[in-house]
Amino acid sequence: MNIGEFKVVNGRMRGWIATRTIDLPQLGLRSVESPNERAPLYEILALNVGNRWVQVGALWEAVARNSTGEAFLQGSIDDPSLPEPLPIALFGDEEEGFRVAWRRQPPRDVFAPVSRGSSRRDYEGGEGGGFGDSTAGSEGGFSGAGNAAELDDAIPF
């Protein structure tokens, strides 16, 4: 679903995003110059109530996984005033402008199997791994090494 657009206005990339509950009428894209290949291509700026430009997001280049292999920009807008980040994608180019699209993330299936892999830690020096043997007996009393009389059952809080 398209929720906004960006176009070059007076040499700067300016735009807006609007939904039923979000209205960001003054947005800007600022190019990011970085030698880091994982840096975003653009920062998303918004004009706040004090008439100052503040960063509210970033955009990275992505390539469609379909047969077209179309390049687009993807990222999100996030601000403490929003209930959650707004994932967005921009399609188009700097000359013609960008269309802003939004797609709801599919809900997570809480009953789906969880794959934890084989990431069990191998602890050094302990028999059987982990934290070692228990100091509790079958009845729940202390059965470990040392003198049980030395234990203080009263724990001050």
Cα–Cα distance, 10 to 144 (Å, whole number): 77
Report the alpha-carbon distance of residue 28 to residue 106 in Å, rounded.
29
Residue 112 lies in a domain: no
Domain membership flag for residue 136: no
Binned at pLDDT 50, 70 and 90, residue 117 comes out as low
pLDDT in tens, 40-75: 999 999 999 999 999 999 999 999 888 888 899 999
pLDDT band at 149 (very low <50, low <70, confident <90, very high): low
In the prediction, which pLDDT does 53 show?
Answer: 96
Q: What is the pLDDT of residue 152?
A: 59
Model confidence at 129: pLDDT above 70? no
pLDDT at 156: 59
Q: Which amino acid is at 89?
A: A
In a domain, 53, yes or no: yes
Beta carbons of 97 and 91 less than 8 angstroms apart: no
Query: Which range among 12-16, 79-83, 121-125 shows the weakest confidence by mean pLDDT?
Result: 121-125
Q: What is the mean pLDDT of the chain?
A: 83
Least confident of 3-7, 52-56, 122-126: 122-126
Is position 24 within any domain?
yes
The pLDDT of residue 120 is 52
With b for 16 or more beta-carbon neighbours within 10 A and e for fewer, the 100-136 pattern comes to bbbeeeeeeeeeeeeeeeeeeeeeeeeeeeeeeeeee
107: in domain? no
Question: Is residue 94 domain-resident?
Answer: yes
Domain count, the chain: 1
Look at residue 74 and tell me if it is in a domain.
Answer: yes
Q: Domain range spanning residue 7? A: 2-102
Q: HSE-up of 84 (CA within 13 Å, CB side)? A: 4
* Higher pLDDT, residue 100 or 112: 100
Residue 42 lies in a domain: yes
